[in-house]
Structure 1
Amino acid sequence: MNPSKEKSLVDWTELDTNILRIICIKLALIFDFINFRAVCKQWRSAITPSDLPLQFPLLIENHRGRLDSQLDVFSLQTHKIYTLDVPQVRGKYLTGPSHGYLLAPTRPKKLVMQSSIWGGLEVKPNIGYWDSEKKKWNAVEVPYGRARAYYKERLYLYDHKTHIVDMSTGAVLSDILSPAGVYFADLIVTPGGLLGVDHLFPLYGGGQPVEKCCFKVYRLEDEDEDEEPRWIELSDIGDLMIFIGSNNCFCLSASDFDGFKGNCIYFLRSNNKTDHHSKCYVVRYDLGENRSEVVACTRSCGDWIVPSLC
């Protein structure tokens, strides 16, 4: 054996833990992180699930109650579709991700807001929530709201005006009027407060070109004790990236991810085809430039989820 080659051999299982950590924080995709830990027992013990770097959202394509257990996710970072085998979603409709979890209930009325009309009378919707102290699901009757968010230990519902609701009783504590001509399709909790997002294009169909889709963003001003809470329009959301899916919305800081900029909204538009020509466009709206552009194309729309191992 060549002596120079013999000296160059490295036992990768003995790689220093600090070096392993430096490598793992560079892994942009959760799939790469899992494969990294699977190399050997030493690497697995040195790197724990809590070492997973903050992940960029993945787009879960519509599952629509399929009988198989495959779940397709699209990565905006790699522009690739990854297929996962998740037996728990077989035959179920996904009602949306929440805090790293997928909601695929057998009885959706326990988890999602519903309303109905019976005998000409509108029945108020119920919303279910998990009581961590009593360890059981509770359901309360609340006003209808197209958009909703849990903020400062209160439920905020929007339907032409913002209802602040006591979650334990369903009682409306107060209402906040909206600016004239504004209708919030989304309420989003951010580090800087509660945001309301007005879509200035049809939510479904309408045939409006992607380039014509735009938004207005408002922040709830509620810290001044001398004035009533009010919505203030923002011209800039700074470092924030807002993600809007079919059933969910949230925000992240662009500075946490290489190659992405803030002051943007990522949303989805479908070409409304029902055959194999169906496509979903991932669109980025730049608030500063007041302009939308397609940044990716995948097979079907769905919801965003930030993957986690903890």
Structure 2
Amino acid sequence: MDDERSVAAAADVRWSDLPPELWEMIGRRLDSYTDILRFRSVCSRWRSLVPRLPRLHPPLSVPCPVHHMVGFSAKIIPATIFRLEPSIETSPSDGPPTSRQGWLIKVSESNPDSVVKSIYMVGEWDLEPEPEPEQESNSGKIWLLSPPSHHRILPDRRPFPEHLDLLKFRATELCKDYILWGVGEVEKVLISPTSPWRDPKDTVAIAITKDGNLCYWKQGQESWSNITDDRGEASRYDDIILYKGQFYVVDNLGTVSWIDSSIRVVQFSPPMCGGGNRKHLVESGGDIIVIDRYNLQTTYPDNYRGPRSDEAVNFKVYRLDQKWGKWEEVRNLGDVVFFLGTSCSFSVSVQDIDGCPGNCIYFVEGEMKGVYLFSLGSWNIRRTAFLDPLC
């Protein structure tokens, strides 16, 4: 009987009465800016347990990773893509009233002096008109961006709220996005660790150049270093992601490898042996996904550095069975839609956002970064009018 009373008494303890040291431990384990913001917004007591973070990590100044541009500097601009779901109590004045389903928000910094909040929704758009240049300030602007690219989109000029109260929305982080500003010969760059609590001295950046080479930079280094493949093969790498806190890369044969703490490439999967021209690496639902892109290729001279127009004609999707170490082709995505961006890729369910068909892939095409939609079921490709870049 005494044990039952003790259990009942323990069950009646209010969460707000838990010891402060326990809440401090919980707060210190939150690994995203939004989670920390929501935690500190609950009450003054919780706010005192977790220190206030900078609104966003500032752009990271790094040496230029391209060897023939030694002496030049670049900046890595961090961004985060979220899915926001309005609460039942949300009123039209709290945010975009056009949809009761989720929408997407991209928060990024455009340059060292200005924080740019880039907001986009799939389907209908609400955005405040951008001010004239002489009226701009360094306090931040709201821009509409194409999800996979960094281009602005011309929206309907309808009012958008100046402030977005995240306490009235459920925010889910979809992926980190890093833009290497000032260097055109780098395909993609990532930073680790991504936690808001990270020590800047622990920062490691890994980049894939346009010719498919891997290089890395650590805080304090004066230049980037090449990453060699222990297999002794001259692999061309197509994509890189952070998966379970580790860097994972995929080469042009569909072999997935991870990069260990000593910056060595360690093979993780067998070759996919797909016949496509480029492999996109995506984490979806905890699985490693490789999307094989087939292009209608145009032949260019080896020394050609102008714009290229390899047109996508097909995509195939493969899932890595990590238990048996083999690839499985996914012929139907169901209600999942993939976004293959210029600097990050992610997947969402069409049940969570408005305006997207399922079993589809959004991707970027051409030097002008137009956004297209590929239907996996019909092999149909069309340009999405509502995502056209503002040129």
Taking structure 2 as the reference length, the TM-score comes to 0.45
Which residue of structure 2 aligns with residue 56 of structure 1?
Answer: 104
Would the aligned equivalents of 2:103 and 2:354 in 1 still touch at CA under 8 Å? no
Deviation at 1:23, TM superposition (A): 4.4
Would the aligned equivalents of 2:248 and 2:259 in 1 still touch at CA under 8 Å? no
State the alpha-carbon separation in 2 of the partners of residues 257 and 149 from structure 1: 23
Would the aligned equivalents of 1:127 and 1:141 in 2 still touch at CA under 8 Å? no
| Greater displacement, 241-250 / 260-269 | 260-269
Matched, 1:172 2:260: no
Deviation at 1:205, TM superposition (A): 3.2
**Secondary structure at 1:196 match in 2:** strand
Change (3 A) 1:126 1:236: same
State the alpha-carbon separation in 1 of the partners of residues 246 and 87 from structure 2: 40
Change (3 A) 1:99 1:250: closer
State the alpha-carbon separation in 1 of the partners of residues 277 and 264 from structure 2: 23
Deviation at 1:184, TM superposition (A): 4.3
Matched, 1:186 2:276: no
Matched, 1:213 2:313: yes
Matched, 1:126 2:216: yes
Deviation at 1:157, TM superposition (A): 1.2
| Percent pairwise identity | 17
Matched, 1:22 2:103: no
Deviation at 1:249, TM superposition (A): 0.7
Change (3 A) 1:194 1:113: same
The equivalent position to 1:231 in structure 2, one of 321, 327, 352, is 327
State the alpha-carbon separation in 1 of the partners of residues 296 and 113 from structure 2: 32
Which residue of structure 2 aligns with residue 78 of structure 1?
Answer: 124
State the alpha-carbon separation in 1 of the partners of residues 242 and 313 from structure 2: 27
Deviation at 1:244, TM superposition (A): 1.2
State the alpha-carbon separation in 1 of the partners of residues 243 and 107 from structure 2: 25
Per-residue CA deviations over 1:251-291 (Å, capped at 9, x if unaligned) read: 11111123422111011234x5xxxxxx6533111101111
The one-letter amino acid of 2:250's match is Y
State the alpha-carbon separation in 2 of the partners of residues 59 and 237 from structure 1: 28
Would the aligned equivalents of 2:243 and 2:283 in 1 still touch at CA under 8 Å? yes
The equivalent position to 1:240 in structure 2, one of 320, 336, 341, is 336
Deviation at 1:196, TM superposition (A): 0.4
State the alpha-carbon separation in 2 of the partners of residues 86 and 285 from structure 1: 39
The equivalent position to 1:293 in structure 2, one of 358, 363, 382, is 382
Per-residue CA deviations over 1:78-104 (Å, capped at 9, x if unaligned) read: 2566649784999xxxx9898467657
Q: For the aligned residues, what is the CA RMSD?
A: 4.9
Per-residue CA deviations over 1:56-82 (Å, capped at 9, x if unaligned) read: 35699xx6x799877766544225666
Aligned residue runs from structure 1 range 31-180, under 5 A: 33=94, 54-56=102-104, 75-78=121-124, 83=130, 87=138, 99=175, 111-113=205-207, 125-126=215-216, 141=227, 143=229, 145-159=237-251, 160-175=253-268, 176-180=270-274
The one-letter amino acid of 1:157's match is V
Matched, 1:199 2:293: yes
| Greater displacement, 168-177 / 75-84 | 75-84
Change (3 A) 1:285 1:161: closer
Change (3 A) 1:199 1:161: closer
| Structure 1: runs of 5 or more not aligned | 1-19, 37-51, 130-138, 273-278, 301-310
State the alpha-carbon separation in 1 of the partners of residues 289 and 375 from structure 2: 16
State the alpha-carbon separation in 2 of the partners of residues 250 and 187 from structure 1: 9
Which residue of structure 2 aligns with residue 252 of structure 1?
Answer: 348
Per-residue CA deviations over 1:137-178 (Å, capped at 9, x if unaligned) read: xx9946463211233454321122424224322233335212
Per-residue CA deviations over 1:197-230 (Å, capped at 9, x if unaligned) read: 111126973364xxx6321111111113xxxx12
State the alpha-carbon separation in 1 of the partners of residues 210 and 278 from structure 2: 22
State the alpha-carbon separation in 2 of the partners of residues 284 and 70 from structure 1: 27
How many residues in Structure 1 have an aligned counterpart in Structure 2? 229
Would the aligned equivalents of 1:283 and 1:292 in 2 still touch at CA under 8 Å? yes
Deviation at 1:240, TM superposition (A): 1.0
Change (3 A) 1:266 1:180: closer
Would the aligned equivalents of 2:103 and 2:120 in 1 still touch at CA under 8 Å? no
The one-letter amino acid of 1:164's match is S
State the alpha-carbon separation in 2 of the partners of residues 245 and 181 from structure 1: 21
The one-letter amino acid of 2:285's match is P
The one-letter amino acid of 1:218's match is Y
Would the aligned equivalents of 1:179 and 1:231 in 2 still touch at CA under 8 Å? no
